């Protein structure tokens, strides 16, 4: 935990913060029976606003890498230190992800090994090392190669036991690999036969991170005017979205499979969203009313951990015949709002509840680093 005075890219903190707030909201409705369609994940193919949250996280991680490591990368004597720091951070993210899974149910037999923080840790470690030890051209080649190779693996290679390639939930190559490496008890509890953060789909997830690295490197350049930077970011983002839509009929946009078209689609939207934020916030200095989201952005990992812990503790606090969570839903929100709005109100209340300690940390200029 440190007191930070180092200047930061305010638009990136804002973008990260609004993504964190959205994640908390969509992950914690009052009732899963009453959720507005945009706040749900796609059943399979397609992309809802909720499906953008995780890839935006990885994209933001990528954008942050050049800002965190760019100056030290120029000194080869610093490379070993940078790599060790990146590996340490990746390991801590993975460990936190596993601990959050097991701390309320100490049972290694049913511990889910894949997960959100685990994927973020793996992707960060890979893209950080690539950024430190390679140049722009290599990163571009790795980015494109991973997308093409993954597409070929998923659409051309026959799935063992079936003899044909498949993109169905339980029959695709990624699901087969997850079942081969992990036992069903260590996979996503809702399926036990495949995992949305599985091993094979981590390959294109790395490309999502590299998309962010390329955008962050462009944005960090000193030889380009801000208007030029932003204009080209909109161009690149728009082209990526168009390419994704062209690819979609052949390799559908799909978050659970993290398809190559999904990488281009979400990366393109992320690039345009960051371009708009950068222009309005950092260039035009229109930064009023940003504090709640910037606070989340400054302590994103802390907010993520609290989003996993606070609902658990609320469900453990007894009130009457139920818990604090059930009492709030049944006696407060459901008495004020319609079912869908009550569910949304419960989610927004949790966002506010988690924001309180985050806001205090922000006011004291405290940033928890790993």
- pLDDT, one tens digit per residue, over 186-241 is 777 777 778 889 899 999 999 999 999 999 999 999 888 999 999 999 999 999 99
Hey, which residues does 46 pair with through a beta bridge?
254
> 290-318, pLDDT tens digit by residue?
999 999 999 999 999 999 999 999 988 99
User: Would you call 80 helix, strand, or coil by DSSP?
Assistant: helix
What average pLDDT does the segment 45-68 reach?
96
What average pLDDT does the segment 85-100 reach?
95
Choice among 2-6, 155-159, 317-321 with the minimum mean pLDDT: 2-6
CA-CA distances (angstroms) from residue 258 to 198, 252, 265? 10, 10, 11
H helix intervals, 221-365: 226-247, 260-277, 291-298, 300-316, 324-327, 334-336, 339-363
What average pLDDT does the segment 285-289 reach?
87
> 115-147, pLDDT tens digit by residue?
899 999 999 999 999 999 999 999 999 999 999
Instruction: Place 283 in a pLDDT band, splitting at 50, 70 and 90.
Output: very high
CA distance 104 to 89: 24
Hey, which residues does 319 pair with through a beta bridge?
322
CA distance 267 to 93: 22
Choice among 4-13, 133-142, 153-162 with the minimum mean pLDDT: 4-13
Q: Which of 303, 308, 313 is nearest to 354 (CA)?
A: 303
pLDDT at 98 over 70: yes
pLDDT at 19 over 80: yes
DSSP 158: P
DSSP 328: I
pLDDT of residue 347: 96
Hey, which residues does 254 pair with through a beta bridge?
46
- % of the chain with per-residue pLDDT over 70: 98
Choice among 79-88, 105-114, 279-288, 351-360 with the minimum mean pLDDT: 105-114
pLDDT of residue 186: 78
What average pLDDT does the segment 103-113 reach?
78
pLDDT at 155 over 50: yes
pLDDT of residue 105: 76
> Tokens 């139920």 label which residue?
322
pLDDT at 4 over 60: no
Tokens of 156: 């051309």
Of residues 315 and 16, more confidence is placed in 16
Tokens of 329: 């839903």
CA-CA distances (angstroms) from residue 99 to 117, 247, 261, 300, 339? 11, 38, 32, 17, 34
**Strands in 62-186 per DSSP E:** none
CA distance 156 to 101: 35
CA distance 304 to 307: 5
Instruction: Tell me the pLDDT of the chain averaged across its residues.
Output: 92
pLDDT at 3 over 60: no
pLDDT of residue 2: 45
> Tokens 């490591």 label which residue?
69
Q: Provide the residue range defining the domain that includes 310.
A: 2-367
pLDDT of residue 5: 41
Strands 366-367 and 2-3: antiparallel
Domains in the chain: how many in total?
1
CA distance 113 to 92: 14
Q: Which of 346, 269, 351, 348 is nearest to 307 (CA)?
A: 351
pLDDT at 23 over 80: yes
């Amino acid at each position: 935990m440190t007191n930070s005075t180092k200047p930061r890219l305010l638009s990136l903190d804002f973008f990260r913060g609004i993504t964190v707030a959205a994640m908390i909201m969509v992950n914690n409705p009052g009732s899963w029976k009453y959720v507005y369609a945009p706040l749900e994940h796609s059943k399979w193919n397609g992309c809802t606003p909720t499906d953008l949250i995780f890839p935006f996280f990885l994209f933001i991680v990528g954008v942050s890498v050049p800002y965190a490591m760019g100056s030290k990368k120029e000194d080869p004597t610093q490379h070993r230190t940078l790599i060790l720091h990146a590996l340490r951070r990746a390991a801590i993210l993975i460990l936190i992800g596993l601990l959050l899974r097991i701390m309320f149910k100490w049972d290694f037999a049913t511990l889910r090994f894949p997960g959100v923080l685990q994927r973020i840790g793996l992707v960060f470690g890979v893209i950080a090392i690539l950024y430190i030890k390679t140049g722009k051209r290599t990163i571009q080649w790795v980015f494109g190669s991973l997308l093409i190779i993954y597409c070929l693996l998923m659409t051309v290679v026959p799935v063992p036991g079936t003899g044909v390639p498949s993109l169905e939930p339980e029959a695709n190559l990624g699901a087969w690999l997850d079942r081969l490496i992990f036992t069903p008890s260590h996979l996503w509890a809702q399926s036990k036969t495949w995992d949305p953060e599985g091993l094979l789909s981590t390959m294109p997830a790395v490309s999502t991170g590299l998309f962010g690295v390329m955008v962050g490197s462009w944005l960090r350049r000193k030889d380009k005017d801000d208007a030029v930077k932003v204009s080209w970011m909109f161009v690149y983002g728009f082209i990526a979205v168009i390419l994704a839509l062209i690819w979609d009929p052949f390799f559908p946009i799909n978050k659970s499979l993290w398809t190559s078209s999904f990488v281009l689609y979400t990366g393109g939207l992320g690039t345009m969203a960051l371009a708009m934020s950068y222009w309005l916030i950092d260039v035009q200095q229109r930064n009023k009313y940003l504090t709640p989201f910037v606070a989340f952005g400054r302590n994103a990992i802390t907010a993520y951990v609290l989003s996993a812990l606070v609902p658990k503790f609320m469900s453990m606090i007894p009130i009457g015949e139920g818990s604090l969570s059930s009492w709030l839903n049944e006696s407060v929100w459901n008495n004020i709002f319609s079912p869908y709005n009550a569910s949304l109100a419960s989610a927004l209340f949790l966002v506010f509840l988690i924001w309180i300690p985050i806001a205090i940390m922000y006011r004291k200029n405290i940033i928890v680093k790993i």
